[in-house]
Chains A and B, each alone.
Chain A
Amino acid sequence: MEYEISLATTMAISVLFALSLNLITGFCGQISLGHAAFLGVGAYTAGMLAKAGVPFLLTLPLAMLVAGALGVIVGFASLRVRADFLAITTMGVGFLFVGIVRQQDALGGEMGISAIPDSGMSKLVFMLFAVAMAAAAALLSAYVRRCWMGRVFSAIAEDEDTVRVMGIDVPRFKLTAFALGTALAGLAGALYAQHLKFIAPDSFGFIESITVLSMVVVGGIGSVIGVTVSAAVLSVLPSWFQVIGTYKLLVYGGLLFLMMRFSPGGMAALVKRIFHPDRWGAK
């Protein structure tokens, strides 16, 4: 069972992480190519605290707090630049994070941190805990979608200038999206550190940021169910693909491309098209 438990834990953490980006990119339309930095901030915060003797459950809110605070700072950058400029700026933030952590001996530098103290939970309980966190994030996402904040987010995603002339404080809403999304990424990072017990700068680099963005886009940007399913599947795909061994990344890249080429709305749109072929529009 341990293998399945471990896979389920990985899935849950990926779902949580993907949903956190979905809040920023899917709901609020602010594309981020550096989201893994916040996973890293959460992981490092929780890892360092755990090593300092802080109990596991207490490391979680602190990881969220630190990641969320940094998220707001990056959010301020998002106020200054837009669209493709924002994409590249966030990418830069990701590289900067990795570059800075590499040089910090206090954070283990290039070597990373290993032997992170155990949470005290059994593997099964920890898995259930991670699943519960992911479920909570999914519920929160579904709620945000339904409340006024979600409506403002999707309007900002489409045309923020128009939202502004509707008297809405666009910067504050954007910052809120960044704060929420990055705090959740921090939570995912704390769970990640606890799950692998080892973290190093390269685990939070550009590739990880691209991976999580792919999960969101393949799931169907903005769709809570779509993103949940795609994050769960894509996170364990490499493990399943062991059978095709050396071809697995080729298949992964190919699938990503084909999905965008033939179903740009992601899996959510694909499913809708199959079951309601006559309805127009994806939303």
Chain B
Amino acid sequence: MSAQMSPLLSVGAVTVQFDGVTAISDVSFDVNQGELLGLIGPNGAGKTTMLRVITGVVRQTSGSVRLEGRSLEGLPTHLRIRRGLALSQQIVRPFRDMSVIDNVALAAGADKTVSPVKALLHTGRERELKIGRDLLSRLGIERHADESPQIQPMGILKRLELARALALAPKLLLLDEPLAGLNSKEARLLADTITEINRSGTTVVMIEHNLGEVLRICHRLVVLDNGEKIAEGEPEAVMNNATVRAAYLGSGAAAATQATAGDQHAEA
């Protein structure tokens, strides 16, 4: 990655405190155009908080977040999304009263939902339905388009969540543990899909605990521990870093058992 290329997202010296407790301390990193960046770290490292700072759900105590060089300071979540962010949430939250395709079409209609007046004056959604169907077929779940999300298994819902985020045509896609709750086969398939999405031009930042898949697909990693950035760089180099190893192995026994328990749970 060349230094001249201006980063798509730039996180500068962000610190977050809740009631005096520091959740993130002076963290900076960049996300470059076209990159697939993994944001990793043990539980409680501050990854999800960082994602929330980027989307504006949580306000940083100090520091800056810039998208394409423009500060996102003071912008509410929905305006940040309209600047080109999209978020796929860790706990899938489809609208259960709508069919799968309606869920995606609603996101695809961003230009019609930009203001209440516009929303009131438009009824048709052929274009949005088409975008929706295309996305569903790209993610391999088009056969569930007209069904209710209520009856879908986790694997389908994870893909629906992703489709809905993609329907916003984002410049930067933020994924919060997209592989959690999937068995290893499903996780592998979805990781492949994410790679494909990234290859077709969408920059991706991904929080993920499944290190195997992270190491397999990510271009670069940022590692957080206890709210601090402890490493950054190419996956292999990062994983050989002594501090990173200490962070993971320090709580290693616990993390390892937890990971196994999680896998078993997913497969059960």
Q: How far is the CA of A172 from the CA of B118 in the complex (A)?
A: 12
Chain A 128-182 residues near chain B, CB threshold 8 A: 143-144, 146-149, 151-152, 154-155, 158-159, 161-162, 164-170, 172-173, 176
| Min C-beta distance of B237 to chain A, whole Å | 33
- Chief secondary structure at chain A's binding surface: helix
Are A147 and B123 neighbours in the complex by a CB distance under 8 Å? yes
Q: Contacts A165-B81, A169-B78, A170-B78: A151 and B116 contacting too (C-beta < 8 A)?
A: no
Contact A148 B89 (CB under 8 A): no
Looking at the complex, which of B25-33, B38-46, B92-100 is the stretch in contact with chain A? B92-100
Give the residues in chain A near B150, CB-CB below 8 Å: 281
Question: Which of these, B93, B118, B148, contacts A148 with CB under 8 Å?
Answer: B118
> Do A168 and B113 contact each other (CB < 8 Å), given the known contacts A158-B95, A158-B96, A162-B95?
yes
**B82 at interface, CB cutoff 8 A:** yes
Chain B residues in 8 Å Cβ range of A161: 93
Which of A151, A165, A170, A283 has the most chain B CB atoms closer than 10 A to its own CB?
A165
Residue count of chain B within 8 Å CB distance of chain A: 36
Q: Mark A270-283, 1 if CB is under 8 A from B, else 0.
A: 00000000001101
Q: Report chain A residues within 8 Å CB of B60.
A: none
Q: Does B209 contact A (CB under 8 A)?
A: no
Q: Once bound together, how far apart are the Cα atoms of A253 and B161, in whole Å?
A: 43
Whether B110 lies near A148 (C-beta < 8 A) is: no
Contacts of A283 in B (CB 8 A): 97
- Among A155, A159, A162, A168, max chain B CB count under 10 A is at A168
Asked, given contacts A154-B97, A166-B106, whether A148 binds B115 with beta carbons under 8 Å apart, the answer is: no
- Asked whether, in the complex, the Cβ of A167 is within 8 Å of the Cβ of B78, the reply is yes
Decide: B115 and A172 in contact? CB cutoff 8 A: yes
How far is A147 from B79 in the complex, measured between Cα atoms in Å?
22
A144 adjacent to B120 (CB under 8 Å): yes
Confirm or deny: B256 has a beta carbon within 8 angstroms of a beta carbon on chain A.
Answer: no
Interface residue from A146, A149, A159, A169 paired with B95 (Cβ < 8 Å) = A159
Q: B148 to chain A: which residues have CB within 8 Å?
A: 280-281
Question: Quick check: A147 and B87 within 8 Å, CB to CB?
Answer: no
Contact indicator A151/B82 (Cβ below 8 Å): no
B119 within 8 A of A: yes
Q: Which residues of A contact B112 (CB under 8 A)?
A: 148
Q: Give chain B residues whose Cβ lies under 8 Å from the Cβ of A165.
A: 55, 77-78, 81, 86-87, 89
Taking a contact as CB atoms under 8 Å apart, the answer to whether B119 and A167 are in contact is: no
A162 to B157, CA, bound (A): 14
Residues 70-110 of A, flagged 1 when their CB comes within 8 A of B and 0 if not, give 00000000000000000000000000000000000000000
Q: Is B253's beta carbon under 8 Å from chain A?
A: no
B268 interface residue, CB < 8 Å from A? no
Which residues of chain B are near A144, meaning CB under 8 Å? Answer: 120
Nearest Cβ on chain B to A18's Cβ, whole angstroms? 21
CA distance A149 to B78 in the complex (A): 16
Chain B residues with CB below 8 A from A148, complex form: 109, 112-113, 118-120, 122-123, 125
Chain A residues positioned under 8 Å from B254 (CB to CB): none
Are the C-beta atoms of B81 and A152 separated by less than 8 Å? Answer: no
In the complex, A173 Cα to B78 Cα: how many Å? Answer: 12
A155-B98, A283-B97 are known contacts. Are A149 and B110 too (CB-CB below 8 A)? no
The 6 closest A-B pairs by CB, nearest first: A167-B81, A149-B119, A148-B119, A176-B116, A147-B123, A148-B112
Q: What are 9 A-B contacts defined by CB distance under 8 Å?
A: A143-B123, A147-B122, A148-B112, A148-B120, A151-B109, A152-B113, A155-B98, A159-B95, A170-B78
Chain B residues in the interface with A (C-beta under 8 A):
55, 76-79, 81-82, 86-87, 89, 93, 95-98, 102, 106-107, 109-110, 112-116, 118-123, 125, 148, 150, 164, 168
